[in-house]
Amino acid sequence: MTARRPESQPRTDAAAVRPVERTRDADRTRAEILAVATAEFADRGYAGARVNEIAEKLSTTKRMIYYYFGGKEQLYVAVLEQAYGRIRALEQQVDVEHLEPVAAIRELAGLTFDHHEAHPEFIRLVSIENIHRAEHLAGSPALAGLAAPAVDVLAAILQRGRAEGVFRDDVDALDVHQVISAFCVFRTANRHTFRVIFDRDMLDPATRDHQRRLLGDLVVAHLTAR
Amino acid sequence: MTARRPESQPRTDAAAVRPVERTRDADRTRAEILAVATAEFADRGYAGARVNEIAEKLSTTKRMIYYYFGGKEQLYVAVLEQAYGRIRALEQQVDVEHLEPVAAIRELAGLTFDHHEAHPEFIRLVSIENIHRAEHLAGSPALAGLAAPAVDVLAAILQRGRAEGVFRDDVDALDVHQVISAFCVFRTANRHTFRVIFDRDMLDPATRDHQRRLLGDLVVAHLTAR
DNA sequence: CCTCTTATGTACCAAGCGGTGAGTTGCGGA
DNA sequence: TCCGCAACTCACCGCTTGGTACATAAGAGG
């Protein structure tokens, strides 16, 4: 029991020979843990995710998770914070001010549609957090009460549309956002049960394009009704 | 160690004296396990639910869960099957054939709305099952591929509306069902994160009534557009 | 070059987990 | 009345789980 490392150890004393990796880098380690944890939590839920399994997919060890984050729950909160932060950053890049109101609504709805489809892990994390009644979200000072930029963009479009007389003046921006979100979240989050029960594959390109148009039609019809 | 039951035992030999309970009843035991398990799985998710905890809330023991269902996963599938079965039974009772098409659509949407709000545990189970990519649903011969009756009702209404010339003739019934479902599921399933981020309480009566009307307006506007 | 802090790895633990072996009791039928 | 079996109880098991004690190496600063 004297041989500690039986193999796979250069031992040539030339420590600097190794390519590039394995230097000490707190930021890199933290980022790697977050990335792996995001995938794992999104994949299996909070209770279903295993700290040991996250650790095994890391190039570092489990000890680092506790060193940097403190515990499973805090790691999960950190994952949520990073995910929401990234989504907000993306939303802020939306630019539809150069379009006329109807086209702008269609574009915004379409972008949300694409965006949700492109980030299913985020939608999954949101579903998971709702299963837990948003208690972690509510407990995070970085996240609670901080609304999405998308609603402001939407409110501006509605304002312009009203001024131009093409939109009704009794429609609330948050309502419209909710309708768009509902449609986009549903087809991503509930895709699996919907497929089993109704045999509709949301990811099929034809279905996808059809639904993207449908969402635009739906919202515009509502905003321009009467 | 001879006294097995130190107290709380009548022991008057009048076995028939006891009110009604505690006889052997397989059906009742099964039903009780299912009821407790439904609440527990809906509350904490599949991985988060604990067999031990379900057992503690039972008037019987954990062993009975394994006796009747075989294991945690099979118990979960049984919970899903019962939940879907009940929902379908409710859907089949919908009767809107006596209403004109527009009123019928509003009524159907409203019933779905009320129905989803009244059964949040079911919505939670569906969310949970989607987190698991509907693998249990797909594996259950009693559930897979068996569409909801609501879509047939919807298709009939659309048909009538088209015949009367009040509805467009290029709208798919399943699309409409999806829009209604999306709205109703979203406001129930994502209620918690939505509240934390946008400070909107879906359960507030005024909000609720407003959204119920909104859903009807939305669908009707789309069906009657152009 | 030494030293002190930060970052990392190893080995391990107690509690809780899903699951079971083995016996016991009530009840319906002969 | 008694028997056979379904319905039920109790104690127990082995493994996985989140979490940690402790040793140690890599750099930055002097």
Residues of B whose CB is below 8 A from A130: 127, 189-193
Higher-confidence position of A166 and A148: A166
A77-94: pLDDT as tens digits = 999 999 999 999 999 999
Give the mutation candidate from A76, A193, A214 for the B interface (greatest B CB count, under 10 A): A193
How far apart (Å, rounded) are the C-alpha atoms in residues B161 and B103?
Answer: 10
Q: What is the pLDDT of residue B226?
A: 79
Q: Give yes or no for a contact between B218 and B176, defined as CB atoms under 8 angstroms apart.
A: no
A101-139: pLDDT as tens digits = 999 999 999 999 999 999 999 999 999 999 999 999 999
Q: What is the pLDDT of residue A13?
A: 32
What average pLDDT does this structure show over A64-81? 98
pLDDT-derived band at B25 (thresholds 50, 70, 90) equals confident
Distance of CA B102 to the CA centre of its chain: 27
How far apart (Å, rounded) are the C-alpha atoms in residues A167 and A158?
Answer: 7
How far apart (Å, rounded) are the C-alpha atoms in residues A19 and B76?
Answer: 50
pLDDT-derived band at A23 (thresholds 50, 70, 90) equals confident
Distance of CA B63 to the CA centre of its chain: 27
Identify the CA nearest to A211 among candidates A137, A112, A122.
Answer: A112
Q: Taking the model in full, what pTM does it have?
A: 0.90
Q: What is the pLDDT of residue B144?
A: 82
Residue B95 backbone phi and psi in degrees, to 5: -135, 105
**How many interface pairs between A and B have CB atoms less than 8 angstroms apart?**
161
- Residue A174 to chain B, least CA–CA distance (Å): 8
DSSP code at position A71:
S
The rounded mean pLDDT for chain A is 90
Question: Percentage of residues in chain A with pLDDT exceeding 90?
Answer: 84
For residue A74, is pLDDT > 90?
yes
Q: How far is the CA of A44 from the C1' of C8 (A)?
A: 28
pLDDT-derived band at A54 (thresholds 50, 70, 90) equals very high
Question: In sequence order, which residues have a C-beta less than 8 Å from that of residue A142 and are 6 or more positions away?
Answer: A81, A85
The rounded mean pLDDT for chain B is 90
Q: Give yes or no for a contact between A129 and A137, defined as CB atoms under 8 angstroms apart.
A: yes
**Intra-chain end-to-end CA distance of chain B, in Å:** 85
Q: What is the pLDDT of residue A146?
A: 82
Q: What is the pLDDT of residue B22?
A: 53
Token duo for residue A82: 């990073």
Q: How far is the CA of B56 from the C1' of C16 (A)?
A: 15
Q: Give yes or no for a contact between B76 and B41, defined as CB atoms under 8 angstroms apart.
A: yes
For residue B134, is pLDDT > 70?
yes
Tokens 């049960």 found at? A193
Q: What is the pLDDT of residue B115?
A: 96
